[in-house]
A and B are shown apart, each in its own frame.
Chain A
Amino acid sequence: MDEQVKQQAEQLYMRGLHVFARCADTQSLKLVAELWQQAYELYREIGDESKARELEKLLAGFYKKKYMLTQQRKQPKPGLVERFNDWTMFLKIGCFGFGGPMAVFTLLEDELVRRRQILTNEDFLEGAVLGDVLPGPVTMDIVTYTGYKLKKWSGAIISTVVFILPSFVLMIILAMLYDRYRITPKVEEVFKCLGAAVTGLIISVGMRLTKAEMKGYRELCVLIWAFASSLIFKLDIVIIVSLAGIAGIVVYHKDAAKENLK
Chain B
Amino acid sequence: METAEQIRDRLLVRFPGADIAIVANPSPSAQTSLLLPAPHARDIAGWLRDERSLQLDSCSNVTGIDWPDKEVVDTVRTTVADPAGGPAKIVEQKTKRIQPGCLEVVYHLYSVALKHGPVILRLRTGNRSDAVSLPSLTPVWRSCEFQEREVYDLFGVIFDGHPDLRRILMWDGFQGHPMRRDYVEPDDYEWEPTPHGEVLEKAKKHYPTIAPPAAADVVVHNGGAPNP
* A-B complex is real: no
